[in-house]
């Protein structure tokens, strides 16, 4: 590593903005924080006196909890502000709300929002650091980083691996962050899903596109199934969940086509029997619970690094 | 009564009369009273003499596509502020789109717009009526009364006419009242929910795309209906290469079609929205390099007849929000001249073609006076300094809104004097000598 190197981002809005070196630093930091989580006293005083706001415009207990636990383990003060639906409905815009939050002098805002670009918008209008906890169909960088961490842990490396991502690539911020992150770290990423769910130009993010799931997972070291959002059914994207499961679900037959020691991942929550066979989700190749554990460590690392930890 | 004005030594570009040379132009009683060799006209004692050497003297520019927002959204623009911006941009006339609140679908709104325009006195305003009542796509608006009140064309701009039968009937019935039908070409089931051009950049930004076929399908439909009904049609804000190919082919077949584009479609690509820049969000969206090249080619070869700005003022609260919630459109009146002159500097267009696109053709398409410096014509004249450089800044903007992707750009070329009926509606401060 370059001895001059320092993680120098004020915000983490997407993996597109991070260099391979930045990503390595986050992963190394997260690995050292993971040890804290295994202690009996799971708390360090690193961020005592710092204020972190979890600002969630979309319901997401998992991600919010993960960030909250991460902040608390470093002794930061955390506040949760949720708004089901958009508060724009009430006539208050994201910027209005952000200006009100600014009165609390937060050091960091964790934002989850249904609109792509909202994290950038917030970052442009507030002094605090912003971590994007998922903006629309754009990026979900902490999820991408925890997936990278989980793969590195399981496989000992990322470069040279073959990653297959199966499902709704078009509407998945997780897929976007993973394609960017894994290809930046030297892995090969192949995506597959119904043609209606493969967006134009996904190759430019670093992914190859396969026509069939079997072809996509051939020799893969990692199989990642993405959640099919049932509310997307109103668009004519695929005929039924039943047919989706039959042609694009990750089944034992799919796993058999992958590398013999391939691991199975899913960002959760899982529609069991749709995108992923229930037995595989709970089986020995699944690292889905590891993903959750690593989520806390990665989020501790992100908060620590952007708040000037050294 | 406007007095006498002598414009000396300017480069007079008057395509309608085949003129492009250094001449003097004399204006009296609101009309052009003489166009003659430099120095040959007597300098009137009581008149104003402007030495416009090095500058262009052209027929008043006509923007056939603007949104003035009044009535209903005066916080964005009023007829007074919009026409003042028009005058500063070198325009002496604008065609005002009907998507006001209420919609200009009846004579009362049309008369209101004309009264406000007369009161402001900065530019001629040609109201464009709605095709359907409320622009809701169901019933024809009262074209006859709209025409009588002063409307020159009809459109549901802002929205397409989704119902093909309604568009057919609009074309047929508009003929009875001598109204031009203007098409905002967009196939809504394809564009629905889209925020920018469909493609790799939209994928990277996580924004829903508007595919170019959404425009082209509707352009084709409207060309087919125009051919079928044997009625003229005008296609607004053309943005894609394939739309232009369709229009070119229709013209070759003899379909009576005219078409406009806007300066942003020959100046910017979709990359202007990168970073979620809502100032570059518009409908149709900014497209690709290939589309920009095709638009430039079509301006040269006559496939496109006019440059119109689609001036669409929006306040900060409409723009400084999440990208896919932000309003579509940009202001354009004060940047059209320098952006078009850029094409002249790049030898994409010559000066004569520029004047045709910005004045002669819009007048002809709308069937309104103007577009000429003929002796006896109303003295609607624009004097352009093609060399003047300026930075387009928020402070310099006369429109009530400042939503422009060109903020901070150094532009070259500016209207320095605008005359309406021989009256000065705009005069640039500074070096301009009198
Ligand atoms: Zn339009
Ligand atoms: Zn318009």
Q: What is the 8-class DSSP label of residue A46?
A: T
Nearest CA-CA distance, residue B201 and chain A, Å: 8
For the segment A11-26, what is each residue's pLDDT rounded down to a tens digit?
Answer: 999 999 999 999 999 9
Instruction: Measure B225 CA to ligand 2 centroid, in angstroms.
Output: 21
Which residue from A88, A202, A203 is facing B325, i.e. has the nearest CB?
A88
Per-residue pLDDT at A242? 94
Distance in Å, CA B79 to ligand 1 centroid: 19
B317 interaction partners in chain A (CB closer than 8 Å): 93
Q: Tell me how far the alpha carbon of residue B174 lies from the centroid of ligand 2, in angstroms.
A: 20
Cα(B400) to centroid(ligand 2), Å: 17
Q: Tens digits of per-residue pLDDT, A96-142?
A: 888 888 888 999 999 999 999 999 999 999 999 999 999 999 999 99
**Helix (H/G/I), strand (E/B), else coil: B388:** strand
Query: Which among B317, B321, B323 has the least Cβ separation from residue A116?
Result: B323
pLDDT in tens, A184-226: 999 999 999 999 999 999 999 999 999 999 999 999 999 999 9
- Measure B200 CA to nearest chain A CA, in Å: 4
- H or E element, residue B423: strand B423-427
Q: What is the pLDDT of residue A3?
A: 75
A23: its two tokens: 């990503």
Contacts of B276 in chain A (CB under 8 A): 116-117, 120-121
Alpha helices in B43-152 (DSSP H): 79-88, 107-120, 143-149
- Quote the minimal CA–CA distance from B188 to chain A in Å: 14
pTM: 0.95
Name the more confident of B255 and A45.
B255
The Cα of A165 is separated from the nearest Cα of chain B by a number of Å equal to 16
**pLDDT on residue A86:** 46
Identify the band that residue A87 occupies on the pLDDT scale cut at 50, 70 and 90. Answer: very low
Nearest Cα neighbor of B172 from B149, B154, B146 is B154
Give distance in angstroms: CA of B74 to centre of ligand 2.
Answer: 17
Residues in chain A: 310
Q: How far is CA A205 from the centre of its chain?
A: 16
pLDDT, one tens digit for every residue, chain B (434 residues): 468 999 999 999 999 999 999 999 999 999 999 999 999 987 666 789 999 999 999 999 999 999 999 999 999 999 999 999 999 999 999 999 999 999 999 999 999 999 999 999 999 999 999 999 999 999 999 999 999 999 999 999 999 999 999 999 999 999 999 999 999 999 999 999 999 999 999 999 999 999 999 999 999 999 999 999 999 999 999 999 999 999 999 999 999 999 999 999 999 999 999 999 999 999 999 999 999 999 999 999 999 999 999 999 999 999 999 999 999 999 999 999 999 999 999 999 999 999 999 999 999 999 999 999 999 999 999 999 999 999 999 999 999 999 999 999 999 999 999 999 999 999 998 655 55
**Å between A11 CA and nearest CA of chain B:** 14
Residues of B with CB under 8 A from a CB of A: 198-209, 275-276, 317, 320-325
Using the Cβ of A36 and the Cβ atoms of chain B, whether some distance falls under 8 Å is answered with: no
Are residues B328 and B281 in contact, defined by beta-carbon separation less than 8 angstroms?
yes
Backbone angles phi, psi at A26, to 5 degrees: -60, -45
Q: From ligand 2's centre to the CA of B170, what distance in Å? A: 19
- Summarize pLDDT for A227-261 with one digit per residue, the tens: 998 776 667 899 999 999 999 999 999 999 999 99
* A136 with B324: Cβ contact below 8 A: yes
B105 part of the active site: no
| Contact state of B202 with A173 under an 8 Å Cβ cutoff | no
Give the mutation candidate from B276, B287, B288, B316 for the A interface (greatest A CB count, under 10 A): B276
**Binary contact (B204, A88; C-beta < 8 A):** no
Residues from chain B contacting residue A94 (CB–CB below 8 Å): 321-322
* Other beta carbons within 10 Å of A243: 12
Residue tagged 């739309």 (tokens): B243
DSSP A234: G
Q: Kindly tell me the burial class for residue B379, based on how many C-beta atoms sit within 10 Å of its own C-beta (0-12, 13-18, 19 or more).
A: buried
Which of the following is catalytic: B310, B318, B380, B421? Answer: B310
CB A118 within 8 A of CB A135: yes
- Give residue for tokens 């564009």: B191
- Smallest CA-to-CA distance from B140 within B151, B149, B129, B150 is with B129
Residues on chain B touching A118 (C-beta within 8 angstroms): 322
């Amino acid at each position: 590593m370059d001895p001059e190197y320092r993680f120098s981002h004020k915000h983490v809005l997407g993996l597109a903005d991070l260099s391979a070196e930045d990503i390595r630093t986050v992963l190394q930091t997260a690995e050292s924080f993971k040890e804290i989580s295994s202690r009996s006293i799971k708390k360090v005083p690193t961020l005592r006196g710092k204020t972190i706001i979890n600002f969630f415009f979309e319901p997401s207990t998992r991600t919010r909890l993960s960030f909250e636990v991460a902040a608390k383990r470093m002794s930061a003060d955390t506040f949760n502000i949720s708004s089901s639906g958009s508060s724009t409905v009430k006539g208050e815009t994201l910027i209005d709300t952000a200006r009100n939050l600014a009165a609390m002098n937060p050091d960091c805002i964790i934002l989850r929002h249904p609109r792509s670009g909202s994290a950038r918008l917030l970052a442009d209008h507030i002094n605090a650091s912003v971590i994007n906890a998922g903006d629309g169909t754009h990026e979900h960088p902490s999820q991408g980083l925890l997936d990278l961490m989980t793969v590195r842990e399981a496989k000992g490396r990322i470069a040279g691996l073959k990653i297959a991502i199966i499902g709704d690539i078009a509407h998945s911020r997780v897929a976007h962050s993973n394609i960017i992150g894994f290809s930046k770290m030297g892995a090969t990423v192949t995506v597959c899903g119904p043609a209606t769910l493969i967006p134009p130009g996904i190759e430019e993010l670093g992914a190859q596109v396969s026509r069939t799931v079997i072809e996509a997972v051939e020799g893969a070291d990692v199989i990642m199934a993405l959640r099919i959002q049932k509310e997307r059914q109103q668009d004519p994207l695929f005929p039924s969940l039943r047919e989706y499961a039959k042609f694009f679900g990750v089944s034992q037959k799919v796993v058999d086509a992958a590398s013999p020691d391939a691991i199975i991942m899913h960002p959760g929550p899982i529609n069991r029997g749709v995108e992923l066979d229930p037995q595989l989700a709970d089986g020995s190749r699944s690292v889905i619970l590891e993903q959750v554990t690593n989520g806390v460590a990665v989020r501790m690392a992100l908060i620590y690094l952007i708040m000037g930890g050294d | 009564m406007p007095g006498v004005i002598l414009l000396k030594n300017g480069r007079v570009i008057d395509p309608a009369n085949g003129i492009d040379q250094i001449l003097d132009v004399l204006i009296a009683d609101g009309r052009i009273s003489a166009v003659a060799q430099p120095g040959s006209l007597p300098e009137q004692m009581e008149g104003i003499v402007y030495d416009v050497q090095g500058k262009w003297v052209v027929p008043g520019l006509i923007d056939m596509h603007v949104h003035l927002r009044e009535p209903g959204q005066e916080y964005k623009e009023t007829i007074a502020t919009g026409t003042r911006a028009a005058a500063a941009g070198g325009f002496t006339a604008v065609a005002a789109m009907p998507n006001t609140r209420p919609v200009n679908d009846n004579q009362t709104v049309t008369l209101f717009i004309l009264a406000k325009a007369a009161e402001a006195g900065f530019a001629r305003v040609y109201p464009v009526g709605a095709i359907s009542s409320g622009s809701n796509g169901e019933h024809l608006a009262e074209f006859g009364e709209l025409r009588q009140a002063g409307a020159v064309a009809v459109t549901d701009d802002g929205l397409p006419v989704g119902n093909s039968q309604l568009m057919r009937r609009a074309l047929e019935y508009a003929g009875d009242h001598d109204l031009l039908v203007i098409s905002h070409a967009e196939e809504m089931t394809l564009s629905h929910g889209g925020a920018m051009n469909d493609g790799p950049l939209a994928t990277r930004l996580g924004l829903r795309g508007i595919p170019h076929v959404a425009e082209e399908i509707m352009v084709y439909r409207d060309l087919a209906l125009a051919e079928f009904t044997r009625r003229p049609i005008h296609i607004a804000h053309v943005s894609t290469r394939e739309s232009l190919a369709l229009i070119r082919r229709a013209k070759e077949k003899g379909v009576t079609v005219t078409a406009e584009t806007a300066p942003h479609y020959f100046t910017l690509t979709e990359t202007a929205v990168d970073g979620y820049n809502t100032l570059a969000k518009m409908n149709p969206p900014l497209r690709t390099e290939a589309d920009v090249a095709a638009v430039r080619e079509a301006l040269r070869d006559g496939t496109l007849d006019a440059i119109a700005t689609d001036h669409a003022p929006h306040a900060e609260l409409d723009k400084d929000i999440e990208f896919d919630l932000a309003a579509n459109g940009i202001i354009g009146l004060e940047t059209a001249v320098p952006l078009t002159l850029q094409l002249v500097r790049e030898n994409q267009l010559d000066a004569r073609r520029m004047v045709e696109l910005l004045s002669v053709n819009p007048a002809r398409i709308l069937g309104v006076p103007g577009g000429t410096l003929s002796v006896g014509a109303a003295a609607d004249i624009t004097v352009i300094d093609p060399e003047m450089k300026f930075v387009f800044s928020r402070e310099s903007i006369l429109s009530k809104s400042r939503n422009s992707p060109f903020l901070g750009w150094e532009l070259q070329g500016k209207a320095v004097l605008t005359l309406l009926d021989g009256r000065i509606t705009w005069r640039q401060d500074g070096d301009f000598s009198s």
